[in-house]
Structure 1
Amino acid sequence: MFSNFSIVRSTILPSCLGAVLAALVATPSFAADDQAATVYNPADLAWLMAASGMVMMMQVGFLLLEAGMVRSKNSINVAQKNLLDFVFGVVAFAAVGFMLAFGKTGWLPFGVDGDLFFLQQTDSWVAGFFVFQVMFCGTAATIVSGAVAERMKLVAYVFGSIVLSALIYPIFVHWAWGTALGPNSGAFLANLGFVDFAGSTVVHATGGWIALAACMVLGPRLGRFDANGRPVRIAGHNPVLSTTGALILFFGWIGFNGGSTLKASLDVAPIIMNTVLAGGMGTCVGYLLGFKQDGVVLPEKSLAGMLGALVAVTAGCHVLEPGGALLIGALGAAVAVYGNQFVEEYMKVDDAVGAIGVHAFAGVAGTLALALLAPVEHLPAGSRLGQLYVQVFGSALNFYWSFGLGYAFFYALDRLIQIRVSAPVEEIGLNIAEHGTRLGVGHVEDALSELVGGTADLSHRLTVDPGDEAEKLTRLFNSLMDTIQQEERGRSELQSLIRDQEESDRVAALANATFEAIVMHENGLIIDGNEQLGLLVGLPLDQLIG
């Protein structure tokens, strides 16, 4: 993002840092520099704020994409995860994350700056820059929500979002983009010439590797793999919703990449052009690969192609030519589609929405490929092999940092609070278990399936929630169960009468077959007898009874 468009201040922060918070608060910062030293163009700030709004729309896109790609019984939970990771991430990034990412490096490998701690002192430009950056932080956090969908507890996910936003993401940002507010010795990747303009690695791969770590700790959803370990496709309940979300993400990516210039300059147009070209090419490739693999067009393949391409071009959209953007778009799409296949078939990892292939694998592919496809004169290292070396180093460091800390965190958290829901909760869905509400008529469909399969309890009735969209259908189902239960009770009573009559006939036949008179009486009153009794007395049996 910032290697070509850094904002250079005229004064350098003194590097006196203390080890305790009191000393930190007293530390001078970039934000406290003399504002008269740098004059900012209001148009630059206006473009940055507009781009921030477009990036925030990506939260809506991720919400719709992921909610549509899971089953309806979990879609409310996924939507809540997308909401909460953003708002908790905003607070965590404002508190310490922004300082760790862009504060002046001292004796620690991250920024420490009292004026950026809880944003205590910021001028208009730094405030606008924070708004733009917190949207990037929210994007990195929300990548995890789709991958762990349908089985991670909401509270565990919120804890993960806080740690990602306050620690894991900001520190790597410091290494790669830490020169954004001025020269910074701790931004060693940026100083080496690592190129990641808008975050193929810094944002997307970070979120993707943490998602992989979380999925490995969680394990797969129930029924995701058969007895032989083969993956079983669990289709989302609303591909239309997912497609809408993906298109909103495409729109947001214009601000994601275009806004990373940090100014309203002529560079914005070619950056957005490369972004659109890559996204279009990636969708085409995803469609073709999906049709080749499945014989039909599964919606998730086209969407993976689109998003994988956009992720891949994000690193080099400012240095690529149109042909290079198209090639990286095709590469990102292929890596996303085949990467997700590798994750589920060979790693046996259950990623509910394909986030790992799209964000981690395609992010790395785009970060590396720019060294081979961008014009050499645009590469800071001055040669393709030299630039490739720097890109490989940065990508590898990102994997070890993000996956390593992510796995350690979720593993430790699982030992403390058990981050996965129980099997019964997973069966009924997290909408009901964690939010006390439901979406759609899935519960009625399940009850009907049990009824048709002959495993239903006829005394079971569904709870009727007044005002619920399934209220009428639920009442009809309960009425059907009432009718079936009444008919079953009548049938049982009729069968009981038939059995009693058959038993009576057998007893009568046995009694009539004897040569002795048999009489049954109660308190001197004859209530039954056999034919021999009538012959003995000389009266018909019906006159003797009673």
Structure 2
Amino acid sequence: MSHELTANTIWVLTCTSLVFLMQAGFCCLESGLSRSKNSINVATKNIVDFFIGVFIFWLFGFGLMFGESYGGWVGTSQFAFKDTSNTHWPTVVFLFQLVFCSTAMTISSGAVAERMRFRAYLLLAVGIGAIAYPLFGHWAWAHDAAGNATGWLGKLGFLDFAGSTVVHSVGAWSALAAVLILGPRTGRFTDDKNKQRFSSSNLPMAALGFLILWFGWFGFNGGSTLALNGEVPSIILNTILAGISGGLCALLWEVITSKQISVEKIFNGSLSGLVAITASCNAVNYPSAIIIGFIAGLVMLASLSLLENRFKIDDVVGAIPVHGFAGVWGTLAVALFADASLFQSGVSRLAQLGIQALGAGVCFVWSFGSIWLFMKLVNRFMPLRVTVADEKIGLNVAEHGASTELHSLLETMIDHEKGNNQSRADVDDFTEAGIVGYQYNRVLDAQEILLSDVKDREVRYRSIMDNVMDAIITIDLEGKIEEFNRGAEYLFGYYNHEAIGQNIDLLIPPLHQKIQHEYSSGELNPQLVRAIGSRQEIVAQRNDGSTFPAELAVSSVILADREIFTGIIQDISERKDYERSLNEARKRAEAASEAKSEFLANMSHEIRTPMTAILGFTDILLNNLTKPEDIESANIVKRNGEYLIGVINDILDLSKIEARKVELEQVRVNTIEVIRDIASLMQI
């Protein structure tokens, strides 16, 4: 083996390893941009499509693509590839083309993520690897041992150096066919104007995948020379310039049009530049590479908006705008910017543009059409899409039974929502979900303490409610009974279950229901207003239809944005009977007092009249007496008569006191005379 062949072998195998590394890049990028409940499913699809791609490409894919051409349409040799040469160079080329096939297949996994059955995706990978990619690859890239094109597109002069169309567009248009059959994720587009943006599970991982793709792209484009020659440095530099140009385009657009910079659009802008330059990285100068990359960023942004806003196409990672539309632009850019010496003899740039457009169009029709028909056929026998329930819980669990820390936390929360509070969330100090689980467990512990306290209060409340003798009734704003304690059962004659849910009219006589009706209609009766915070007397009705006087005290409280009223009702029938008895006794006492007063008035008249006459005759007698002893005796008679008149006046004053009409006055009294009068009275 010559030194040149050895160097080329080492270079191509190195580039093969770099392109294989792109599989890891797609895995990280697509898993990071998907929701965490689907990330394991997305990663697994990226792994298994490599398995499928390798087997199919070895078995017959390489033969269909690079075998001896049958009319420029299909290869007919080199199936179940084996290398019979002494240099092993065919194996090197086979390995390089093998990872290209794997790349084309894995592009679709991100676009159909989060709602496609795993088994259905396996068949999609088979369709791309066995039908779409090798046949179109034959049309564009098949050649004979001398390097002359044998595929019908290649014979026309179609140029695609490293696969903007052959690899990237084939994968994108195949993904578009599957996406249209699947439909958008549940809740992605709510109506004609609104779209729901789902959050990515791990943007740092997506960023790592993005950088790995960048690194792998050096081998993707640089290795397409199949030789370590002078073109490699410029190819890699063109790749870098186009990639950063596409990223700057997306960044500039976000800065101008949005307050918040979309990380995903920056990733996709840069990747679209890499896709576009892939077709012409060997044939353009550096300024052209920058222009191609920048325009690719604009194409990606425009097509992304068109697919989402106009057609409601749900591409989880933006694979169709990045690899499909940017791939078309890169293919057309060959005719506009590439070295014209690479064109077939006599072909102008305009003619080359037509050839490039034809190749891009054929790629769309073939890739989209063949995969759409294939997946439609599969969908008739096996649904491509998971159920809504599986989509809700996530494909990690639904398809693989694999759980993440976040999903375990959510399952614990769902158990608690159903009333199973025995379990606790997993705790891990080294994961975000584990830290959240620790805090959530603390909340649960505090909640259990609070609930225990609430239950104790509820028991005490129920004990009071059930044992208090007064009736306690709770109603809502519409008058519907919500609480009815044992005291109310005893007072009204209804069981609790009979009264709960009934209107308060049940306990109010028909003639008194107007109060409740006015209250329920929003016109609060003044009597009820006075009852809130105070006590009012009402008339209530028992189950047997009898009525009784009651005392009502009402309190109101707002719970959960609704107002409820609690009334305490006491039967005051005995009190009313006692009040009636007191009223009747008072009336009898007033009548007796009135009779007494009348008697005293009559008595004073009957006594006062003769006593006045006696006193008058005594005064006459005193004027005619001469003997001292006779005068003293007459004075004694006069004083005692006056004393008797005073006693009568005092008795009459008692009636005035009862009638609260007595008038008090101060009079000087000679105590000695009072004693003398008493002594003289006692001598009679």
Q: What TM-score results when the alignment is normalised by the length of structure 1?
A: 0.80
Q: CA contact under 8 A between 2:32 and 2:204: conserved in structure 1?
A: yes
Aligned identity (percent) is 39
**Aligned partner of 1:262 among 197, 222, 226:** 226
Q: Structure 1 residues 500, 296: closer, same or farther in 2, change over 3 A?
A: same
For 1:104 and 1:162, the matched residues in 2 are separated by 23
- Structure 2 partner of 1:132: 96
Q: CA contact under 8 A between 1:105 and 1:185: conserved in structure 2?
A: no
**Aligned partner of 1:458 among 383, 407, 419:** 419
**Aligned partner of 1:117 among 67, 79, 86:** 79
CA RMSD across the alignment: 3.0
Deviations 1:414-468 (A, max 9, x none): 11110111111111111111122222425535865998xxxx3223666867999
- Structure 1 partner of 2:466: 500
For 1:348 and 1:241, the matched residues in 2 are separated by 27
State the SS of the aligned residue for 2:391.
Answer: helix
The letter for the 1-side match of 2:79 is: F
Cα deviation for residue 473 of structure 1 reads: 5.5
- List alignment gaps of at least 5 residues for structure 2: 469-484, 494-541, 547-572, 575-684
**Aligned partner of 1:311 among 262, 272, 275:** 275
The letter for the 2-side match of 1:500 is: D
For 2:492 and 2:260, the matched residues in 1 are separated by 72
**Aligned partner of 1:391 among 337, 353, 356:** 356
For 2:257 and 2:318, the matched residues in 1 are separated by 16
Q: CA contact under 8 A between 2:72 and 2:138: conserved in structure 1?
A: no
**Aligned partner of 2:402 among 437, 440, 454:** 437
Q: CA contact under 8 A between 2:218 and 2:236: conserved in structure 1?
A: yes
For 1:508 and 1:386, the matched residues in 2 are separated by 102
- Structure 2 partner of 1:81: 45
Cα deviation for residue 504 of structure 1 reads: 3.7
For 2:299 and 2:124, the matched residues in 1 are separated by 27
Q: Structure 1 residues 107, 266: closer, same or farther in 2, change over 3 A?
A: closer
Whichever of the two has the greater Rg, that structure is 2
Q: CA contact under 8 A between 2:304 and 2:318: conserved in structure 1?
A: yes
**Aligned partner of 2:208 among 221, 244, 254:** 244
Q: Structure 1 residues 257, 224: closer, same or farther in 2, change over 3 A?
A: same
- Structure 1 partner of 2:375: 410
Of residues 434-443 and 413-422 in structure 1, the stretch that sits farther from structure 2 once superposed is: 434-443
The letter for the 2-side match of 1:314 is: T
Q: Structure 1 residues 141, 495: closer, same or farther in 2, change over 3 A?
A: farther
Cα deviation for residue 291 of structure 1 reads: 2.6
User: Size of the alignment, in residue pairs?
Assistant: 473
For 2:137 and 2:105, the matched residues in 1 are separated by 14
For 1:258 and 1:203, the matched residues in 2 are separated by 15
Q: CA contact under 8 A between 2:83 and 2:90: conserved in structure 1?
A: no
The letter for the 2-side match of 1:457 is: K
Deviations 1:193-220 (A, max 9, x none): 1110000000000000011111100000
Q: Structure 1 residues 368, 461: closer, same or farther in 2, change over 3 A?
A: farther
- Structure 2 partner of 1:12: none
Q: What TM-score results when the alignment is normalised by the length of structure 2?
A: 0.64
For 1:220 and 1:494, the matched residues in 2 are separated by 55
- Structure 2 partner of 1:420: 385
For 1:101 and 1:340, the matched residues in 2 are separated by 31
Kindly indicate which of the two structures has a greater share of residues assigned to strand: 2
Cα deviation for residue 409 of structure 1 reads: 1.4
Q: CA contact under 8 A between 1:462 and 1:478: conserved in structure 2?
A: no
Cα deviation for residue 373 of structure 1 reads: 1.6
- Structure 2 partner of 1:325: 289
- Structure 1 partner of 2:22: 58
Q: Structure 1 residues 360, 176: closer, same or farther in 2, change over 3 A?
A: same
Q: Structure 1 residues 70, 264: closer, same or farther in 2, change over 3 A?
A: same
- Structure 1 partner of 2:324: 360
Q: Structure 1 residues 299, 344: closer, same or farther in 2, change over 3 A?
A: same
1:345 aligns with 2:309: yes
The letter for the 2-side match of 1:117 is: F
The letter for the 2-side match of 1:153 is: R
1:276 aligns with 2:237: no
State the SS of the aligned residue for 1:44.
Answer: helix
The letter for the 2-side match of 1:55 is: V
Q: CA contact under 8 A between 1:444 and 1:477: conserved in structure 2?
A: no
Higher relative contact order (CA 8 A, sep 6+): 1
Cα deviation for residue 186 of structure 1 reads: 4.5
The letter for the 2-side match of 1:333 is: G
- Structure 1 partner of 2:537: none
